[in-house]
Amino acid sequence: MFNKKVLKFPNGFLWGTGASAHQVEGGNFNNWSEWEKRNAEKLAKKAKTYWQPWQIKQFPEMLQSKNYISGRACDHYHRFKEDFDIAKSLGHNAHRFSIEWSRIEPKEGKINQGEIEHYRQVLIALRDRGLEPFVTLYHWPLPIWLSQKGGWLNPKAPYYFDRYVKIISENLFDYVNFWITINEPNQFTLNSYLRGIWPPQKKNVFKYFEILNNLAEAHQLAYKSLHLIDLKCEVGIAKNQTFFEGNFMKYPVSYIHNKYFLNKIKNQQDFIGLNYYFHNRIKRFMFNHNDDKNCSDLGWEIYPEGIYYILKDLKKYNKPIYITENGLADVNDQKRIKFIKDHLYWVHKAIQDGVDVKGYLYWSLLDNFEWDKGFEPRFGLIEVNYKTLERKIRPSAYEYAKICKNNELNL
């Protein structure tokens, strides 16, 4: 497929990984942690029929309810310096993480200054190691008090979010150049309000659009607030985009999933964060008619070429693009380096075709808690033993390190 050559990336290109608070920190108390406790047994029973036999054989723990309770996760909350030392040793110069809203405002209007100081130390640790922080302000869990008020269906939710954003930015703006207001608004609403598999599990197409509109308003308010505090900062979102192909159905579906939200905020973003995982081939009125010849442990088709077409489509927004997530579940680390290299080949091709891509953050630094899938999907460059919390660098991490350190892809 490839000629033997070296593909150089632009000077100043950012290389690194990402993580989210609820998935790695441990010890969180929010609407997700409470939902896990109520639904762990149901998820374990569902796994018997949801997963393929080869997946169950490979991950028998998925049949145990404890797999679906985040608990201490990776204990990154206490071990972030150790984890960032590893990232630095692997040649990374950027890292994306999220601030957990429920830690900052555990009760409505009551701000925990100790937790603000914790995240200040996280930022200082990143800066001390030469890692550019990308700070996500909302990565899905909500404080219990807001969840009890209806969550994002509450018309005041955007203003509650803006109040929280102001507190964070007023305290931490000295350390942050890149703010990501919201992670994957479309994926969150899809799974919570159309599929009904994530909290609060309410299937309603009208609420789906209501939530998207409230999230867009939240972003717009936060965008203004962040720039009032720091004119030089850059503000964007992390947007999950799916590459749809097939018949005429791809146009309305792609508009709703890929473009609806971006169009609403197109005048209130300084960059676009791209999360790319999915290819979806449509036949007649049916989705996901993919070949599935090459899949991750989760059964997600690996389709590197799709990232090129997504990037080309995003070019029309005329904004810098950072790839804020791209990764796969691969417990045996057999496909990860080819996955990274193949995607970077198409990223480089998009750059050559005029797309302003400025960074690539692999998902993720650590194995982590994969929401309703539990602990078994292993996305990390670093393997985590959840019993001992021992960290072990996977071979693919060293191959990725060569790319990061040399700012080039050797094919």
pTM of this prediction exceeds 0.85: yes
Q: Which residue of the set 25, 36, 217, 325 is catalytic?
A: 325
Q: Which residue of the set 100, 105, 184, 301 is catalytic?
A: 184
The Cβ-side half-sphere exposure at 120, using a 13 Å CA radius, reads: 14
Q: Cα 301 vs. chain centroid, distance in angstroms? A: 18
Please give the tally of structural domains in the chain.
1
Active site residue 184: yes
User: Taking a C-beta distance cutoff of 8 angstroms, is the pair 246, 210 a contact?
Assistant: no
* Amino acid symbol at 27: G
In a domain, 359, yes or no: yes
User: Taking a C-beta distance cutoff of 8 angstroms, is the pair 36, 115 a contact?
Assistant: no
Per-residue pLDDT of the chain (411 residues; tens, 9 = 90+): 445 699 999 999 999 999 999 999 999 999 999 999 999 999 999 999 999 999 999 899 999 999 999 999 999 999 999 999 999 999 999 999 999 999 999 999 999 999 999 999 999 999 999 999 999 999 999 999 999 999 999 999 999 999 999 999 999 999 999 999 999 999 999 999 999 999 999 999 999 999 999 999 999 999 999 999 999 999 999 999 999 999 999 999 999 999 999 999 999 999 999 999 999 999 988 898 898 889 999 999 999 999 999 999 999 999 999 999 999 999 999 999 999 999 999 999 999 999 999 999 999 999 999 999 999 999 999 999 999 999 999 999 999 999 999 999 998
In a domain, 222, yes or no: yes
In a domain, 1, yes or no: no
In a domain, 322, yes or no: yes
Active site residue 325: yes
In a domain, 292, yes or no: yes
Q: Could you give the CA distance from residue 158 to residue 181 in angstroms, rounded to a whole number?
A: 12
In a domain, 316, yes or no: yes
Exposed, middle or buried, 218 (CB in 10 Å: 0-12/13-18/19+)? buried
Containing 42, the helix (H) or strand (E) segment is helix 31-50
In a domain, 400, yes or no: yes
Query: Which of 227, 316, 246 is CA-nearest to residue 287?
Result: 246
Range of the domain at 320: 6-410
In a domain, 303, yes or no: yes
Q: What is the CATH number of the domain that holds 297?
A: 3.20.20.80
DSSP track, 369-392: --GGGTT-----SEEE-TTT--EE
